[in-house]
Chain A
């Protein structure tokens, strides 16, 4: 095996470990931390299914963002929906045979990359053009957008300009999954793409990308509005009850 293959094999195992382990740990931490008080932002649903629906609207449609800022909403939604299609399209590198619907979305996925990058560019522009957003932007906010645009553009280069050896790449990827390591094609654009993807996976659990799992744990969005009917009490707060009784 070439040094290149060894390096990327190691990198991807490391990145996957950090990504899965890190996100799992964060989710564990969030779920373990109690929410001692009822704080849904009202008006809020009064049933569990209502809350599931509210959450679905937030995750799929970005409902609150739609209420608050149409520009961020449109760019943000283009980016995320584009990203979703692109990622679904990528499933084909990891399975054999490929599911029917993954085949089906291939052409859409290709063009979704434009939507994704355009959305990212719009979001980035706001960080320069809107004084309030400029004020709150940190270097990491800019770098995160640069990284995602970098991934997007290098991917699009491969799709539309300099094709890479997909068959060999797929063998490499499946080799990683089944511990049967295969050589990685060495073209620069692919390596750049993969390096940036690994970096994204590594920073995921220690960055603002935690908004993705975080939204599901947001007490202002995931609580049912029923405090008069059901007593809500955290374990550490229930312990106070014992002290007093």
Chain B
């Protein structure tokens, strides 16, 4: 790790951080790289501000207001009560007041007021309305890329105002006038061109999987398979592409494969849908999110599978659970031809799609899986609720299943488990700091500082209970914490997946 160019925040004694005093402009220097011509062109956006950027921005804002009730109601309803001001991990980590959720919304609200409301048109000074200037646009760019769209603010706002919705709208408008973000937009281009976010072509994927099969067999002496593009398989597994060759992600992929092996079920990955992630979510563009999601529908129909299961990834699970039915008809109740085809094909005894944790937990309850828990005894484990799973989706039949099911799995496969402070988990969980399209090196300062609330709570259980393993169910969380742990003096090997723990303890014959 190179020496950081910024000061890494210090831990505090309490698991829950003190609220910092505001420091105006603390993060105003932070600007992630702007997307170049190639990516913008591929996505159908301009790549520089034209003469008429302002008119275009206002026009797009008007369209968003027509299409999204969330944006319209949220821009009107905020009373500036201040309840959300201390809820964002980026504010807690940076003290920049524009990282307070309400202030982040205000960047857009002041423009909305100016051009779309009576008060703002005639009495701008009174209601804090402002013209859209290049300065304001720069602020949008900076601060809408210092929001991980984690929805923590939405839990605590009396009207449920979700700053993520505003951030998404902001990024859509920015894209529309030619200020896209390099990292997210290059990924969006790759996933649509090649099939996954890493740009890993089909043959490379095949090689990787074959290599993994050899490794597993050498390791445990059991021929666990990682099938690709098998027509007529029972289950299609859609997982983030990082699972194929990033550490520690791949350990979880091995875990899923072992679970399927133990269950004796036929399953397959798809080279066409070799990515569960969907960065379309982050940019607030419905059509793009839909295009990316369509690959899953196409693959499911093509392969003729009966079930669709999603691997460990937070925002991917949000899109799968909350949006796939809407976007593609994967689920129940749709009546267009594709939805009908899917409903005929997919096994209606199961929810579609299903999370890998739901699947594994079902098998554990049925007694299908055998574990030697002591194999995880070198680990003292805590679990981080990923923001999109916690606050934008569910697992199982009961509200809150997204909290209990992963923990149940961990307790079934390991002996040492401790939760972090109650105010930092469950629906109040802090984002890892790298979600929502921020997982790029040019935003390292934001990522490290934004991780402070989570790291501080982790440090508390590490000190108090000797915790040495952070269990995760998200590809972005895994990548983020592996990078950020060293900044805070922890070893990156302390980070891994829930199915990595399953993989360690499972007994195969």
Give 1 or 0 for each of B101-140: 1 = CB within 8 Å of chain A CB.
0110010000000000111000001111000000000000
Number of B positions contacting A (CB below 8 A): 79
Contact A76 to B402, CB < 8 A, known contacts A227-B321, A240-B287: no
Q: A42-B393, A211-B78 are in contact. Are A68 and B159 (CB under 8 A)?
A: no
A220-B79 contact, Cβ under 8 Å, with A41-B160, A215-B159, A231-B333: no
- Residue in B closest to A212 when the chains form the complex, CB atoms: B77
Contact B326 A227 (CB under 8 A): yes
Residues of B within 8 A of A240 (CB): 287, 290
- Nearest-CB residue, chain B, relative to A225: B394
Interface residues of B in 160-186 (CB under 8 A from A): 160-162, 165
Q: Is the CB of B73 within 8 A of A214?
A: yes
- Check if B106 sits within 8 Å of A68, measured CB to CB: no
> Does A33 lie within 8 Å of B399, measured CB to CB?
no
| Stretch from B83-91, B245-253, B438-446 at the A interface | B83-91
Most chain B CB within a 10 A radius of its CB, from A203, A228, A245: A228
Asked whether B160 lies within 8 Å of A68 as measured between CB atoms, the reply is no
Are B65 and A211 interface neighbours, CB within 8 A?
no
Residue pair B82, A29 in contact (C-beta under 8 Å): no
With known contacts A43-B400, A139-B126, A211–B67 Cβ distance under 8 A: no
Beta-carbon contact of B399 and A126 below 8 Å: no
Majority SS at the chain A contact face? helix
Query: What's the minimum C-beta distance from B75 to chain A, rounded to whole angstroms?
Result: 10
With A72-B82, A228-B332 already in contact, the answer to whether A218 and B326 are too (CB < 8 A) is no
In the complex, whether B499 has a CB less than 8 A from a CB of chain A is no
* Residues in A187-208 with C-beta less than 8 Å from chain B: 203, 206-208
Report the minimal beta-carbon distance from A24 to chain B, rounded to whole angstroms.
15
> Cβ of B402 and Cβ of A43 under 8 Å apart?
yes
Interface string of B340-363 (1 = CB under 8 A from A): 000000000001110000000000
Interface residues of A (CB under 8 A from B): 26, 29-30, 33-39, 41-46, 58, 62, 64-65, 67-69, 72, 76, 123, 126, 130-133, 135-141, 143, 203, 206-208, 210-211, 214-215, 217-221, 225, 227-234, 236-238, 240-241, 245
Q: Which residues of B contact A67 (CB under 8 A)?
A: 155-156
- A selection of 26 A-B contacts at a CB cut-off of 8 Å is A34-B69, A37-B322, A38-B322, A39-B162, A42-B393, A44-B399, A46-B397, A46-B399, A76-B81, A207-B119, A208-B77, A211-B78, A214-B73, A214-B77, A214-B159, A218-B77, A220-B70, A227-B323, A227-B326, A228-B352, A230-B325, A231-B333, A231-B335, A232-B325, A240-B287, A245-B336
Q: What residues on B are CB-neighbors of A237 within 8 Å?
A: 286, 326
Assuming A126-B82, A232-B326, is B331 touching A29 (CB within 8 A)?
no
Contact of B76 among A64, A76, A135, A210 (CB under 8 A): A210
* Contact residues in A for B403 (Cβ distance below 8 Å): 43
Cβ of A67 to closest chain B Cβ, rounded Å = 6
Beyond contacts A69-B156, A132-B19, A231-B332: 5 other A-B pairs, Cβ-Cβ < 8 A, are A39-B392, A41-B427, A43-B402, A68-B87, A228-B352
Knowing A43-B427, A221-B159 touch, does A211 contact B83 (C-beta < 8 A)? no
> Cβ of A64 and Cβ of B155 under 8 Å apart?
yes
Near A by CB (< 8 A), chain B positions 189-225 give none
Are the C-beta atoms of B118 and A35 separated by less than 8 Å? no
Q: Are B126 and A230 in touch, CB under 8 angstroms?
A: no
Q: List chain B positions with a Cβ less than 8 A from chain A.
A: 19, 21-22, 65-70, 72-74, 76-87, 97, 100, 102-103, 106, 117-119, 125-128, 151, 154-162, 165, 286-287, 290, 321-323, 325-326, 329, 331-339, 351-353, 390-394, 397, 399-400, 402-403, 427
Residues of A within 8 A of B334 (CB): 231, 233
Q: If the complex has contacts A43-B394, A136-B106, A237-B326, are A143 and B126 also in contact, measured as CB distance less than 8 A?
A: yes
Most B CB atoms within 10 A — which of A64, A67, A141?
Answer: A64
Task: Assess the B128–A227 pair: CB atoms within 8 A.
Answer: no
**Are the C-beta atoms of B72 and A131 separated by less than 8 Å?**
no
* Cβ A30 vs Cβ B128 within 8 A: no
**A28 → chain B, closest Cβ, in Å?**
12
Distance (whole angstroms) from the CB of B374 to the closest CB of chain A: 34
Question: Is there an interface contact between A231 and B73, defined as CB atoms closer than 8 Å?
Answer: no
A132 and B76 contacting across the interface, CB-CB below 8 Å? no
Chain B residue with Cβ nearest A219: B70
Cβ–Cβ contact A41 & B391, under 8 A:
yes
Contact B80 A208 (CB under 8 A): yes
Distance to closest chain B CB from A57 (angstroms):
11
Q: Which residues of A contact B72 (CB under 8 A)?
A: 29-30, 33
Partner of B399, one of A42, A133, A234: A42
Give every chain B residue within 8 A of A210 (Cβ-Cβ): 76-77
CB-CB under 8 A from A139, the residues of chain B are 125-128
> Which one of B73, B157, B399 has the highest number of Cβ atoms from chain A below 10 Å of its Cβ?
B73
Give, as a whole number of angstroms, the nearest-CB distance from A143 to chain B: 7
Cα separation A76 to B127 with both chains bound (whole Å): 21
Known contacts A132-B97, A133-B82; decide if A217 and B286 are in contact (CB<8 Å): no
User: Given the complex, which residues of B lie within 8 Å of A214, measured CB to CB?
Assistant: 73, 76-77, 159
Is there contact, CB below 8 Å, between A206 and B119? Answer: yes
Structural contact, A218 and B427, CB atoms closer than 8 A: no
For the complex, what is the distance from the CA of A44 to the CA of B158, rounded to whole Å? 15
A38 touches B119 (CB 8 A): no
Asked, given contacts A64-B160, A72-B82, A231-B325, whether A140 binds B119 with beta carbons under 8 Å apart, the answer is yes
A133 and B326 in contact (CB under 8 A), knowing A138-B80, A214-B159, A220-B70? no
